[in-house]
């Protein structure tokens, strides 16, 4: 177990602010050195943020998805890598909360996750199937109450820092590629042999190296719900909402930097509107559209949770549209901010620098490729009985 500092503040907002400040302080070196945002994650642990979504009866605070999204956005504005680590961790935590409460092993893990502020990573991407979440080549091999799993994973973010890795796999060696389960592999019972190094354009602090992953455990570590249901009922929606919130944070910080620059220009020439002010207003307008779309989708998510019988097709369409729209628009917003800031944005370092934001936000369209998402959304639209006026 990693040593924890004291809880930094009383309220969730205060604890988030403390972690965000640490993330911002180290964002430049995390990016430059392509290293894990260790200080930010330690601050999340100190503020008990890693287990914040766990229901109170299991030791957590029962934070809502909207609260998690807000934390993702604040962290993303400070350091996109730290924000994405938090988002990816919470997606796995949500899987455990949603599907693991039936299993004694999972319930115990949930309590440990809060007590020890465990960090969860995921291995869904696989060599041979790429970003197709719903296909696996590797398979769980059971022997009595024990299992083993070997997976070639081209990317596992912060795999070496995680306390557990959630991996998709075929249910057994005879199962078809889409008959998957989600398996929790504990760090002390799995080996990671690194075969590629994450020296990427952006999101450099996620340390998403490629690994040959081998793990073992007991049957209770295989989440009881089929992965098809986990993905359709919650994981895809939660992923798209939390990723989008991180990207909104990145775009928001870019707009704030551009605004600070234009404001400084305005002060030099009182009474004259700086020429870039209308462009700034345009970038701000797009940012508001991003934030509005996320808020609307969060409300839809809550509505769907309250009405489990309602159309899952329309929710899936909304969440796919969210991911594609935010990943595309956030990039446009950051790019527009670069045009507003000019060379001061182009140069590395300094309060108006936007290089890190631009490089980080380029990952958004790839993180499950938008082409893939549009292909699956296109299929859904063709089978939807009611037209997609309000999909
Ligand atoms: C910062 C970051 C962190 C990540 N962390 C993790 C992690 O922790 N764990 C994890 O498992 N994964 C992780 N990923 C991987 C991610 O979720 C995707 O799986 C990955 O980005 C897809 O990689 P790809 O583009 O090479 O592969 P593919 O999805 O195979 O796509 C390759 C190309 O083919 C096109 N394509 C493929 N299929 C279709 C189709 N059906 N229709 C249209 N076009 C198609 C795509 O548009 C793309 O151009 C991370 C990615 C990023 C950027």
Domains recognised in the chain with CATH numbers = 12-118 (1.10.540.10), 121-221 (2.40.110.10), 227-390 (1.20.140.10)
Phi, psi of 333 (to 5 degrees): -65, -45
What percentage of the chain carries pLDDT values higher than 70?
96
* Exposure of 14 in the CB half-sphere (CA atoms within 13 A): 5
341 CB contacts (<8 Å, ≥6 apart)?
Answer: 257, 258, 261, 352, 354
Residue by residue, DSSP assigns 200-255 as -SS-GGG--EEEEEEEEEEGGGB-SS-HHHHIIIIIHHHHHHHHHHHHHHHHHHHH
Q: Evaluate if residue 225 carries a pLDDT over 90.
A: yes
Strand 164-170 and strand 180-186: pairing? antiparallel
- Averaged confidence pLDDT in the chain: 94
- Taking only the tens place, the pLDDT of each residue in 18-68 is 999 999 999 999 999 999 999 999 999 999 999 999 999 999 999 999 999
What's the rounded Cα separation, in Å, for the pair 316 and 330?
21
Ligand 1 atom nearest 375 alpha carbon:
42
pLDDT, position 235: 96
Q: Which of 372, 375, 377 to mutate to test the pocket of ligand 1 (most atoms within 8 A of CB)?
A: 372
Using a 6 Å CB cutoff, which residues line ligand 1? Answer: 88, 121-125, 130-131, 155-157, 203, 206, 208, 363, 366-369, 371-372, 375
Question: Which position has the higher pLDDT, 378 or 384?
Answer: 378
Average pLDDT on 135-163 reads 97
> If you average pLDDT over residues 214-223, what whole number do you get?
95
pLDDT at 6 over 70: no
Residue predicted with more confidence, 307 or 215: 215
Name the residue at shortest CA distance from atom 16 of ligand 1: 367
pLDDT above 80 (res 7): no
Q: How does DSSP assign 102-166, residue by residue?
A: TSHHHHHHHHHHHHTT--EEEE--BTTTBT-TT--S-B-EEETTEEEEEEEEEEETTTTT-SEEE
pLDDT at 53: 97
Tokens of 226: 């089929």
Is the backbone of residue 211 left (phi > 0), alpha (psi -120 to 50) or beta? beta
State which ligand 1 atom lies nearest to the alpha carbon of 158.
Answer: 8
Is the per-residue pLDDT at 328 higher than 90?
Answer: yes
Q: Which residue is closest in CA terms to ligand 1's atom 37?
A: 372
């Amino acid at each position: 177990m990693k040593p924890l500092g004291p809880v930094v503040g009383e309220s969730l907002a205060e604890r988030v602010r403390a972690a965000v400040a640490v993330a911002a302080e180290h964002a430049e070196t995390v990016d430059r050195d392509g290293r894990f945002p260790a200080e930010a994650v330690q601050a999340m642990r100190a503020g008990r943020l890693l287990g914040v979504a766990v229901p109170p009866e299991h030791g957590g605070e029962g934070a809502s998805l909207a609260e998690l999204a807000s934390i993702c956005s604040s962290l993303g504005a400070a350091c996109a890598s730290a924000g994405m680590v938090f988002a990816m961790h919470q997606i796995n935590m949500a899987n455990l909360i949603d599907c693991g409460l039936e299993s004694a092993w999972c319930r115990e893990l949930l309590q440990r996750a809060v007590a020890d502020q465990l960090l969860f990573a995921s291995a869904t991407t696989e060599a041979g199937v790429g970003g197709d979440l719903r296909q696996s080549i590797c398979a769980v091999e059971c022997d009595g109450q024990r299992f083993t799993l070997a997976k070639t994973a081209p990317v596992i973010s912060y795999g070496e820092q995680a306390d557990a890795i959630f991996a998709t796999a075929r249910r057994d060696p005879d199962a078809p590629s889409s008959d998957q389960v989600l398996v929790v592999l504990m760090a002390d019972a799995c080996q990671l042999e690194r075969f590629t190094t994450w020296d990427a354009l952006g999101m450099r602090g996620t340390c998403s190296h490629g690994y040959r992953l081998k793990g073992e455990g007991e049957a209770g570590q295989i989440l009881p719900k089929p992965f098809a249901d986990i993905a359709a009922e919650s994981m895809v929606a939660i992923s798209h909402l939390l990723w989008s919130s991180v990207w909104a944070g990145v775009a928001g910080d870019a707009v704030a930097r551009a605004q600070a620059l234009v404001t400084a220009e305005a002060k030099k020439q009182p009474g004259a509107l700086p020429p870039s002010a209308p462009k700034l207003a345009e970038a701000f307008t797009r940012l508001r559209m991003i934030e509005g779309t996320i808020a609307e989708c969060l409300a839809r998510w809550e509505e769907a949770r309250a009405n489990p019988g309602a159309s899952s097709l329309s929710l899936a369409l909304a969440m796919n549209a969210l991911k594609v729209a935010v990943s595309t628009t956030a990039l446009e917003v950051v790019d527009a901010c670069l045009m507003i800031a000019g060379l001061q944005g182009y140069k590395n370092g300094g309060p108006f620098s936007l290089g890190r934001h631009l490089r980080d936000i380029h990952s958004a369209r790839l993180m499950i490729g938008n082409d893939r998402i549009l292909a699956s959304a296109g299929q859904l639209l063709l089978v939807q009985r009611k037209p997609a006026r309000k999909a």
